[in-house]
């Protein structure tokens, strides 16, 4: 699902970019980060996080997004950044090889993907054994998820049970997780590591 004009305006703001970078930096502290690792951001939006990480950590960075307008924005000012690319694509059908990436980030994206489970399966497929999956998004309480699933053609409605089931069934280990609760929905962050083959 593509973002609304209002959501896009928020996404391209420097303030939003700064908060995102700080949050991702904190989550990366749980990862065994090395130069030249292959890094994928699913739903990269304007590409600020990708650009920052490529410059600071010298990673081979790929940012993907379903929205061509966001990809065009992300491609601006990257001539001085080696080993970075931005590609328009659907997260449920990524054209990458199996076991291609050392780190995959999904930051505030899954609730925009109606068939988010297919996107998670693709993330697992392209992630190397012992690679890291960094996740941050809205997690719906069960009562709200029941209502939200009536509109699931537009949104990815995920509960902590849904996500935990996927992680367990696909042999990921949890390195870090944190749930912040609010009245309507919760925010959940986690760093997972894929098990060896």
pLDDT at 155: 65
pLDDT at 111: 85
Give the separation between CA 103 and CA 128, rounded to whole angstroms. Answer: 8
- pLDDT of 32 strictly over 70: yes
Helix residue ranges, H only, 29-181: 48-57, 68-74, 116-126, 142-148, 160-169
- pLDDT of 6 strictly over 60: no
Structure tokens at 97: 């090889």
Classified as helix, coil or strand, 46 is coil
Q: Are β-strands 186-194 and 172-180 bridged in parallel, bridged antiparallel, or unpaired? A: antiparallel
pLDDT at 92: 96
Give the separation between CA 186 and CA 197, rounded to whole angstroms. Answer: 33
Phi, psi of 140 (to 5 degrees): -90, 135
Range in 5-19, 58-72, 120-134 with the lowest mean pLDDT: 5-19
pLDDT at 89: 97
- pLDDT of 159 strictly over 90: no
Per the prediction, the chain carries an average pLDDT of: 88
pLDDT-derived band at 79 (thresholds 50, 70, 90) equals very high
How far from 139 is each of 75, 88, 151, 197, CA to CA, in Å? Answer: 30, 26, 16, 29
Q: Within the chain, how many helices (H) and strands (E) appear? A: 7, 7
Closest CA to 194 of 157, 153, 154, 166: 166
Instruction: Name the β-bridge partners of 85.
Output: 62
Q: 37-73, pLDDT tens digit by residue?
A: 999 999 999 999 999 999 999 999 999 999 999 999 9
- pLDDT of 7 strictly over 60: no
- pLDDT of 16 strictly over 70: no
Domains of the chain, first to last: 5-194 (3.40.50.150)
The model's pTM = 0.88
pLDDT at 142: 65
Query: Hey, which of 13-22, 92-101, 142-151 has the most confident mean pLDDT?
Result: 92-101
What percentage of the chain carries pLDDT values higher than 90?
70
- pLDDT of 97 strictly over 90: yes
């Amino acid at each position: 699902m593509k973002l609304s004009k209002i959501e896009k305006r928020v996404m391209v703001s420097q303030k939003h970019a700064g908060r995102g970078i700080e949050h991702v930096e904190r989550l990366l502290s749980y990862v065994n980060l090395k130069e030249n690792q292959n890094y994928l951001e699913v739903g990269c939006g304007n590409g600020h996080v990708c650009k920052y990480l490529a410059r600071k950590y010298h990673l081979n960075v790929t940012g993907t997004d379903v929205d061509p307008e966001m990809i065009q924005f992300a491609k601006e000012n990257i001539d001085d950044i080696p080993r970075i690319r931005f590609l328009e694509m659907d997260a449920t059908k990524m054209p990458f090889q199996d076991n291609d990436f050392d780190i995959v980030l999904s930051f505030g994206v899954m609730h925009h993907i109606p068939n988010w489970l297919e996107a998670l399966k693709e993330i697992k497929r392209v992630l190397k054994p012992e690679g890291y999956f960094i996740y941050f998004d809205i997690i719906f309480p069960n009562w709200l998820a029941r209502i939200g699933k009536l509109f699931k053609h537009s949104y990815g409605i995920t509960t902590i049970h849904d996500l935990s089931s996927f992680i367990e069934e696909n042999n990921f280990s949890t390195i870090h997780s944190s749930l912040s609760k609010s009245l309507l929905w919760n925010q959940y962050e986690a760093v997972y590591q894929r098990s060896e083959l």
